Structure 1
Amino acid sequence: MCKMKKLLGSIVSDWSRLQRQTYATSFVTPDIPVLPSTDHIARKYQGLDYDTVQRIKEAHVVPCIKSLNSKPLLINEAHMQWLYDHTGKRYLDMFAGIVTVSVGHCHPRVTEAAKSQLDKLIHCSNLFQHSAMYEYTRKLVKTLPPHLNVIYLVNSGSEANELAILLARLYTKKQDVIAFNSAYHGGTHLTQTLTALATYKYPRNNAPGIHHALMPDVYRGIWGGARCRYSPIQTKRYCECPPNQCDATNKSYEQLVNAFQYNVPITGAAALIAESIQGVAGVKEFPRYFLRKAYEMIKSTDGLFISDEVRNIVRSGTR
């Protein structure tokens, strides 16, 4: 019996020591890169205290508004690529407001222009003219192809796509619209129907006349090869397509033709809508020549092509 107790005691002692070693090993602090220095000094936080903010959010803010962290960051200030929380801690912002802060937070030129405009005029409706609106319109037109030279300014991407579908239906006198799987086009009733992602769907009736075609995805889709994209970043899939040909494009185009044949009246569709680069469902680029072929097809049936430029133009280049 004494020998048994001694043996058990030894086992327990060894196990406890192993646990302590494992615990210590699990919590070794890794080498964390040091943030580059900056001349900017954040202001002292003067807002509601952290716990009060959390109570207000819990009691009065819709629960679908989620925070990115389990312990939410309470941001006090931002400058260029840096965010500062209520304690003064600095973070490198690699999120950029869901890729909307294109030139950094509080860029001096942007804030100077905004302050100057707020001192002169905030709002008077477009029933009256104001120089700034036409200065912006002129600059915007200069970035577009010559035949795209008429601007209708709206408040959001959802509103822009609603307007585009309305104009297409009125102009063509047709109803049906084709979009692509995994597309994101907005949060209104119509644009949620155009959107083909379960995350943004609700158990309700969709807007009528909207259909979806297979999204050509050369990375994870049915067809794809090592030379499918215009991008310098290609997939590692095998490719034996001859020069100036793309098997993924041809087969994906056949699927698009089928979507029109099986879903749209013989009179054709009002429009085909596409993001030039999909982003919400993961960055997806169309294979070479596909969008041009799709554009030519919808135009050949007197429909319109709607380009929903979300990831392109100023977010990823100048055009």
Structure 2
Amino acid sequence: MSIDVSTETITAEQIAAGARAHELDRAHVFHSWQAQGPFDPMAIVKTEGSWVWDGAGNKLLDFSSQLVNTNIGHQHPKVVAAIQEQAAQICTIAPQYVNDARSEAARLIAELTPGDLNRIFFTNGGADANEHAIRMARLHTGKNKVLAAYRSYHGGTHLAVNVTGDPRRVASDNATDGVVHFFPAYPYRSYFHSTTEAEETERALRHLEDTIILEGPSSIGALVLESIPGSAGIYVPPAGYMEGVRELTTKYGIVFIADEVMAGFGRAGKWFSVNHWNVTPDLLTFAKGVNSGYVPLGGVAISDAIFETFRDRVYPGGLTYSGHPLASAAAVATINAMKEEGMVENAARIGEDIIGPALAEIKAKHPSVGDVRGTGCFWAVELVANCETREPLAPYGGSSPAMAAVTGALKKAGMLPFVNFNRIHVVPPLNISDEDLRAGLAMLDEALSVADAFVEA
């Protein structure tokens, strides 16, 4: 559903409220992933469809879907109405009691998950979904170690950030949580000196099996892997890799956890990204797109075998807000709206027909673009200072004046971008209009002229 925002304006009252909110924010709010002093956050005073308005009244195209979670755009009327209707009935209830919103959300999710992932444990977000999935796997297998990939992100809570394989882990990683990292299949920056995708798959799987053998299969309870890594770079696994991971985890009795927190619920052009390879994990974690973040919600989809472990054995875990009625009602409305309006199919279409071709043209045009990759509404543009050496335009784990200039050019052009290290992610809502999508891609094309100026001569 595309919402017409052409006549929307921001009032003086909204701008004044935004200024007041910014003042209070700076006085009292402690922000995540920031040095608090120099940070000057943007106030948002209105959101609608694929657009947001900042504290100065500027209209910006949200090409970030916020944190890649507003899959159905902002203020979708069906979801807003569902939250309002639920609030009028039951705002909250403890998780030990049945509520119809949670039951229906679980049914809808279980219908969409692959294989026998028929039971749903609800959490408040993706990090705690991954923490609980790992706990379930450890209890199910009686084994403690967890394998996780470098260049990954699984959440900011204690275990989830230790499982994470990007620099955000380092400050909190004391190497005592049983996590073992391995190198993922990443064709553009191969750790295995591969020259083809087939080589990358074969070598990455050999490395993974060697890691399993050397660490000891009898000690490894779980392997957690983003089906398509998100904030780590949207590097789509090469053909055969996911199937190979599934085979290895089965061979060695390891629970395979597919992290679909960012890649799930249509983002990659299928309901879940594992569907691209017809792979069924033992546990699947989700959040973000399940209700577009309108109310915090995440969860774990559980296979029948792991469910049986806890049929007569107490599962030692829970959350006060597990399956919160407002969040669950938002999930029901979101999933139904996505089905009724064909959003997953639309994501696949625009990825294949619009985003992919446009990014290929952008790559051919701009010497700063080293790689473009993705599927559905889930793409990354990797910027480099030198296409031959693939030197990134910002160091791994940091930014640079070049990336700051590109980000500034995108915002000046009217875009709210998703930028991480040396990459710009193209991750708009699944129901963005073709017109708005093409406008955003044109903004990106123009801004990359700024990046080109930083390319080595």
Which bin holds the TM-score, normalised by the shorter protein?
Answer: 0.7 to 0.9
Shift of 1:191: 0.9
Aligned to 2:147: 178
1:236-271 deviations in Å (ceiling 9; x for gaps):
xxxxxxxxxx22111111111121122x23524101
Cα RMSD for the two superposed structures: 2.5
Query: Mean alpha-carbon deviation: is it higher for 295-304 or for 202-211?
Result: 202-211
1:104 is aligned to 2:73:
yes
Q: Is the 8 A contact 1:276 1:311 kept in 2?
A: no
How far apart in 2 are the matches of 1:145 and 1:63?
A: 37
Q: CA 1:164–1:225 in structure 2 vs 1: closer, same or farther (change >3 Å)?
A: same
Aligned to 1:252: 204
Shift of 1:205: 1.6
Aligned to 1:128: 97
Percent identity reads: 27
Q: Which segments of 5 or more consecutive residues in structure 1 lack a partner in the other structure?
A: 1-35, 229-245
How far apart in 2 are the matches of 1:148 and 1:64?
A: 33
Aligned to 1:273: 224
SS at 2:123's partner residue? coil
Q: Is the 8 A contact 2:15 2:57 kept in 1?
A: no
1:92-145 deviations in Å (ceiling 9; x for gaps):
221221111111110111111111111111101122211111111111111122
How far apart in 1 are the matches of 2:10 and 2:22?
A: 23
1:189 is aligned to 2:140:
no
Aligned to 2:26: 58
1:211 is aligned to 2:180:
yes
How far apart in 2 are the matches of 1:157 and 1:70?
A: 25
How far apart in 2 are the matches of 1:45 and 1:59?
A: 21
Counterpart of 1:206 in structure 2: which amino acid? A
1:117 to 75, 83, 86: 86
Aligned to 2:249: 298
- After TM superposition, list the pairs within 5 Å mapping 1:40-79 onto structure 2: 40-42=8-10, 44-46=12-14, 52-62=20-30, 64=32, 66=34, 72-79=41-48
Counterpart of 1:99 in structure 2: which amino acid? V
How far apart in 2 are the matches of 1:291 and 1:83?
A: 37
Q: CA 1:303–1:50 in structure 2 vs 1: closer, same or farther (change >3 Å)?
A: closer
How far apart in 2 are the matches of 1:143 and 1:122?
A: 26
1:165 to 125, 131, 134: 134
Instruction: Give the number of the structure whose alpha-carbon radius of gyration is greater.
Output: 1
How far apart in 2 are the matches of 1:199 and 1:313?
A: 22
How far apart in 2 are the matches of 1:82 and 1:133?
A: 30
Shift of 1:62: 2.4
Q: CA 1:60–1:200 in structure 2 vs 1: closer, same or farther (change >3 Å)?
A: farther
Q: Which has the higher strand share?
A: 2
Q: Which segments of 5 or more consecutive residues in structure 2 lack a partner in the other structure?
A: 272-457
1:38 is aligned to 2:40:
no
Counterpart of 2:116 in structure 1: which amino acid? H
- After TM superposition, list the pairs within 5 Å mapping 1:202-241 onto structure 2: 202=171, 205-221=174-190, 222-225=192-195, 228=197
Q: TM-score, normalised by structure 1?
A: 0.75
SS at 1:152's partner residue? strand
SS at 1:153's partner residue? strand
Q: Which has the higher contact order (CA 8 A, sep 6+)?
A: 2
Counterpart of 2:231 in structure 1: which amino acid? V
Query: Mean alpha-carbon deviation: is it higher for 167-176 or for 76-85?
Result: 76-85
How far apart in 1 are the matches of 2:113 and 2:120?
A: 11
How far apart in 2 are the matches of 1:253 and 1:43?
A: 57
User: Number of paired residues?
Assistant: 264
Aligned to 1:82: 51
SS at 2:180's partner residue? strand
How far apart in 2 are the matches of 1:199 and 1:127?
A: 35
Q: Which has the higher helix share?
A: 2
